[in-house]
Chain A
Amino acid sequence: MERLDGNAAAGLLQEVFAREMTVAIETCAGCGTSEALGAVHVYMGGPGTVLRCPHCSTILMCIVRVGEELRVDLGGLRRIELR
């Protein structure tokens, strides 16, 4: 599956968080590094959109659309700084 980046998920992230999120800074729960969400790795070819840490590949966030619902798993995020 082709690797994209957080820019490709910007519209979807805006649906979830109701604000521009690619400038938000995430901290990975796996390795502790921080990046702008625009710079994380994104995979969109499957049933959901998966955001992975560009340093350790931890799944930061997974967003799945089920009918009209969005289901969001944030298990790999330690924190998000909104900017």
Chain B
Amino acid sequence: MAVWQALELVAKQPETPTAATLRFAPDRWPGHRAGQHVDVRLTADDGYQAQRSYSIASAPEDGALALTVERLDDGEVSPYLVDDMALGDALELRGPIGGWFVWDVADGGPLLLVGGGSGVVPLMAMLRHRRAAGAAVPARLLLSARTVQDILYADELHALGAGDDGPEVTITLTRGAPPGWSGYDRRVDQELLAAVAWPPPQRPRVYVCGPTAFVEEVAADLVALGHDPGLVKTERFGPTGGG
């Protein structure tokens, strides 16, 4: 049973101009599964509380608990976490939470991960888990980002994709690609999914995470292409990403 615990920030690393990874070292942590999230609660001096959910970015095999947070300019919580929270500052956190949008190596594959923006965070936990477990489960990641600067974990994804048994990583940019860009440069649609996804007869396990509209369009397109709705798991985080 997840209870609230106060945790100090032990490390922080910028990922993109608008996102950072925050690391915590909880004393009481039952271990997590790739795809789970935590609830974070901030309390103002006047007692006002704001609560948000953030996906866990680290693999279960990783000792620390890492969250990657995207700053939303009109958010109540994310600007503090990304810009202002300093090492040693504390927040309240409960977790790990969730059991449906999770993937364990034992679940097998092939695995198709489709992320929009910071929706890639729980999918990254799955890929990190796959690597840490030394698993060769066939895996493909399709990541939609606005621009090159917005791609989370770009170097790590490149290295993962280049490795033996690495996942096939496909990135599409929706707001313009730089000269020489070799990936896609358009929104995810049925045609792009048909090109990237495992064929439906292979019955891939599909995880889609991102803003609500993105997730619902991708899920509908996958079902239209013949994928079993029962194998398509979705996680929506709304247009505000939870703030």
Contact = CB atoms under 8 A, between A and B. Distances in A.
Interface of A: 2-8, 10-11, 14, 18-20, 22-23, 36-39
Contacts of A22: 98-101
B100 A36 contact: yes
B100 A23 contact: yes
Contacts of B98: 7, 10, 20, 22, 38
Contact of A7 (B37, B212, B216): B37
B203 interface: no
A38 B237 contact: no
Interface in B210-239: 212, 216, 233-239
What band does the interface of chain B fall in when counting residues whose beta carbon is under 8 Å from A? 20 to 34
B43 interface: no
A39 B234 contact: yes
Given A3-B212, A7-B37, A8-B53, A14 B97 contact: yes
B13 interface: no
A59 to B, nearest CB: 18
A11 B39 contact: yes
B149 interface: no
B99 A20 contact: yes
B50 interface: no
Interface of B: 1-2, 37, 39, 53, 94-95, 97-101, 212, 216, 233-240, 242
Contacts of B37: 7, 10
Contact of B2 (A2, A5, A14, A38): A14
B97 A23 contact: no
A6 B2 contact: no
B100 A11 contact: no
B55 to A, nearest CB: 9
Contacts of B100: 6-7, 10, 22-23, 36-39
Contacts of A19: 1
A41 B234 CA distance: 11
Nearest to B51: A11
Nearest to A11: B39
Contact of B237 (A4, A14, A36): A4
A2 B53 contact: no
A23 B97 CA distance: 11
Contacts of B94: 11
Given A11-B94, A22-B100, A4 B233 contact: no
A4 B212 CA distance: 7
Nearest to A4: B236
6 contacts: A8-B53, A8-B238, A10-B97, A11-B2, A11-B39, A38-B98
Contacts of A10: 37, 53, 97-100
A11 B240 CA distance: 19
